[in-house]
Structure 1
């Protein structure tokens, strides 16, 4: 079934640190500590896979707070979100701002030029490259929105901060597929705009059906 405890954490970034590297020097998460009225949360942002044949993919966007409403207007703390459009939930493929869908005129021009693809393609790379894309956004003291699944093991936190749909049939994550439940990290700049880090894993499909399974 889709994620049971999907939501968003609104708070202030305290600090971040990379996970402990393995024997080959790879780490799999960048950990955020986020302060809220309910205490400090630990948020684990995936930047690599333990499976050697799977790589991480990411993109970095800058978005106005208005396109992220109502999530951008929530009070500090953790908030459950309905997995529907308009609730504040995130869906990389269906939210117009996150999917990078151009306006009709630009889309028509791209088609005429033979370049109809998305305006923000996924970048593939190593844990180091993914971390180097994420970490400049993680300025201590910035307001932050972390979308994902809540947990409470050794203290409150957020996990599954990555795409949560499109896993192929037969994978251990097939049952977790669903729409409007993707994870993301967003930090608010002094000008009110948000720097946004999105990530997924290479086997996850770029197009899914209404159940979140690969289309």
Structure 2
């Protein structure tokens, strides 16, 4: 079945927690404030499947239908269903960017600006410093009863799965679906500029059926030779 509660979170960056190499599943954590409430977004920077390096692409001048419609959303989390699917994202069907521009990056690496932690941190900190609006697409946390384990606010609400959510290997095939991909879009209002940050796992196939399941293995259909299905 598709994601539990797909949607988009609109807010402002308040704090960050860059990747800790000791984490079992490394994420770049972001504390967002939205309409007086606290949220956390967990951005994957490594895959549990092999290869571990995540595919990454950022559009410095992002332009799509989304930038004309999502500013109308209220701050906070908006569930996306069949009733408001115009807000949804799909890497394969939506024409958001050229998949061939995605490159694999390690989670962390010695040196400046050469790993996914560095790349994500650059844009998130720019958003914080310029008071930009962040739109994070993904799946809402299922358990919001406890205190957030990183930023310690309560309840611990937020979203994860901020990456492509279709064409998964058997282990994660239950999360497959179309028009439910995750991403981070940043609106720099004062500059009239948008940045789009997109992530996918190398284990995901880019040839999927109407339910988002892989119809060809990665070896036959990766991000460099995919076609819209």
1:134 maps onto 2:120 in alignment: yes
Compute the displacement of 1:159 (Å).
0.7
1:50 maps to which residue?
Answer: 48
Unpaired stretches in structure 1, ≥5 consecutive residues: 101-117
2:225 maps to which residue?
Answer: none
Asked which structure has the greater RCO (Cα within 8 Å, sep 6+), the reply is 1
Compute the displacement of 1:91 (Å).
0.8
Q: Distance in 1 between matches of 2:205 and 2:27?
A: 22
State TM-score, norm by structure 2.
0.76
Deviations 1:134-190 (A, max 9, x none): 22211212210000011125311111111100113xx22111100011111111123
2:222 maps to which residue?
Answer: none
Q: Distance in 2 between matches of 1:84 and 1:135?
A: 34
2:152 maps to which residue?
Answer: none
Counterparts in 2 of 1:5-154, with a 5 A limit?
5-22=5-22, 28-51=26-49, 53-61=51-59, 62-64=61-63, 66-82=65-81, 86-96=85-95, 98-100=96-98, 121-128=101-108, 129-138=115-124, 139=126, 140=128, 141-151=131-141, 152=144, 153-154=146-147
**Does the aligned pair in 1 maintain the 2:18–2:121 contact within 8 Å?**
no
Q: Distance in 2 between matches of 1:83 and 1:91?
A: 14
State TM-score, norm by structure 1.
0.80
Unpaired stretches in structure 2, ≥5 consecutive residues: 109-114, 148-155, 216-229
Label 1:85 to 1:35 Cα distance change in 2 as closer, same or farther (>3 A). Answer: closer
**Does the aligned pair in 2 maintain the 1:28–1:50 contact within 8 Å?**
no
Label 1:92 to 1:84 Cα distance change in 2 as closer, same or farther (>3 A). Answer: farther
Q: Distance in 2 between matches of 1:6 and 1:186?
A: 16
Alignment RMSD (CA, Å): 2.2
**Does the aligned pair in 1 maintain the 2:183–2:198 contact within 8 Å?**
yes
Q: Distance in 1 between matches of 2:198 and 2:82?
A: 18
**Does the aligned pair in 2 maintain the 1:59–1:122 contact within 8 Å?**
yes
Deviations 1:46-68 (A, max 9, x none): 01123453321110012147543
